[in-house]
């Protein structure tokens, strides 16, 4: 995987100054499945000038498997230089000053809790700071965006929102259904996030967020991270991929709709995914969730063209500068908006 990118002089300087937050990442090279697997996340983040990442620990696992994966990840971080788990915003700013990487531990589903708020307290003590209510389907908390019933929060889901607020854990609604999303935003005492999503108005697939959801998010002080997956970004993503210009078009759309303070980046890149992994994913993962826009399309069209790793995040800065965003606004998009959001949420109830 090539990581060399060329930026204009001003964009390169701006990217060095920025505290870059990637609001969603995963992949085998980022979160190794065994103690023997190499842990490449620090190298990838350094290459891309990324200080902080919301790293998916679990998205369809129960309690025991989530604990196992979390243990492996924490061991990998402990044996690596220049990377640490971030529990506070000060941890993120300290990592930037030291030129190191910070990991925000995240769940893409509340299934690891198995209906127990006590388990949430345990995971918080272990460093988990971001929890998505549900992944595509109905669970104990809410309906996902793949559920045709579009039900709202359950009784447990409403209790969970309150406990996430109390503990200072960011609520992620990227894969949550419309009614569940709006219910949560209304109920939550803290702002929430779509850590990795795109605008339904730009590409009408169930996984993307409607204008009503984006407006509600922003009105409550939340932030939306723009997703780099081509088929979610562009209605033509499976036929021709998607470009950096289209990635910035998504940013433009959210800025025009709700303002510059409510948009960031959440690339949703599975670091190290190979062609073989892709073929397996098409028949298993994407086959299980057809509303994610799976089917037949080339491996080369999975991500935004040229942006298949966090190591290439500087290209976004280059594209934002070229589009005419001010330095202040570029810094907000790259990370300051998410830092403000996390500071509010981590303060707790």
| pLDDT confidence of residue 3 | 54
| pLDDT confidence of residue 69 | 95
| pLDDT confidence of residue 2 | 44
Q: In this structure, are residues 171 and 222 in contact, taking their beta carbons and an 8 Å threshold?
A: no
| pLDDT per residue as tens digits for the range 134-187 | 998 999 999 998 899 999 999 999 999 999 999 999 999 999 999 999 999 999
| pLDDT confidence of residue 349 | 60
Residue 302: exposure state from Cβ atoms within 10 A (0-12, 13-18, ≥19): buried
For 170, the token pair is 């960011």
Residue 277 is part of which domain span?
A: 9-346
Q: Which residues of the chain have pLDDT under 70?
A: 1-4, 349
Which CATH number covers residue 110? 3.20.20.140
Supply the Cα-derived Rg of the chain in whole angstroms: 18
| pLDDT confidence of residue 4 | 63
Count CB-CB contacts under 10 A for residue 200: 19
Confirm whether 4 is domain-assigned.
Answer: no
Closest CA to 153 of 178, 127, 129, 189: 178
Confirm whether 2 is domain-assigned.
Answer: no
| pLDDT confidence of residue 296 | 81
Q: Which helix (H) or strand (E) holds 285?
A: helix 285-288
For 108, the token pair is 């893409």
Nearest-angstrom CA–CA distance, 257 and 261: 11
Confirm whether 252 is domain-assigned.
Answer: yes
CA angle, residues 293, 284, 103, in degrees to nearest 5: 80
| pLDDT per residue as tens digits for the range 261-287 | 999 999 999 999 999 988 888 777 777
Q: In this structure, are residues 101 and 41 in contact, taking their beta carbons and an 8 Å threshold?
A: yes
Confirm whether 174 is domain-assigned.
Answer: yes
- Number of folded domains in the chain? 1
């Amino acid at each position: 995987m090539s990581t060399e990118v060329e930026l204009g002089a001003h964009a390169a300087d701006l990217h060095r100054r920025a505290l870059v937050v990637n609001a969603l990442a995963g992949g085998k090279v980022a979160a190794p499945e065994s103690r023997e697997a190499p842990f490449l996340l620090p190298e990838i983040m350094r290459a891309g000038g990324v200080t902080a990442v919301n790293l998916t620990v679990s998205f369809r696992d129960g309690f025991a498997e989530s604990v196992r994966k979390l243990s492996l990840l924490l061991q990998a971080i402990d044996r690596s230089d220049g990377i640490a788990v971030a529990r506070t915003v000060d941890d993120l700013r300290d990592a930037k000053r030291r030129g190191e990487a910070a990991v925000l531990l995240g769940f893409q589903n509340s299934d690891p809790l198995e209906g127990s708020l006590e388990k949430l307290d345990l995971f918080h003590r272990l460093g988990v700071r971001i929890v998505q209510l549900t992944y595509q389907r109905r669970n104990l908390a809410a309906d996902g965006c793949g559920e045709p019933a579009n039900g709202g929060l359950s009784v447990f889901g409403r209790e969970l929102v309150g406990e996430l607020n109390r503990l200072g854990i960011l609520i992620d609604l990227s894969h949550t259904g419309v009614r569940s999303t709006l219910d949560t935003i209304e109920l939550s005492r803290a702002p929430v996030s779509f850590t990795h999503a795109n605008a339904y108005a730009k590409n009408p697939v169930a996984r993307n967020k409607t204008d009503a959801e984006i407006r509600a998010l922003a009105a409550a002080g939340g932030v939306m991270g723009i997703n780099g997956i081509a088929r979610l970004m562009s209605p033509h993503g499976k036929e021709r991929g998607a470009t950096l210009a289209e990635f910035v078009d998504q940013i433009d759309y959210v800025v025009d709709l709700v303002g510059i303070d409510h948009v960031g980046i959440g690339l949703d890149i599975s670091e190290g995914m190979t062609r073989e992994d892709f073929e397996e994913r098409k028949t298993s993962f994407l086959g299980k969730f057809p509303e994610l826009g799976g089917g037949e399309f080339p491996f080369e069209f999975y991500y935004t063209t040229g942006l298949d790793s966090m190591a290439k995040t500087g290209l976004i800065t280059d594209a934002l500068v070229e589009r005419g965003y001010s330095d202040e606004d570029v810094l907000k998009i790259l990370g300051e908006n998410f830092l403000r959001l996390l500071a509010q949420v981590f303060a707790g109830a």
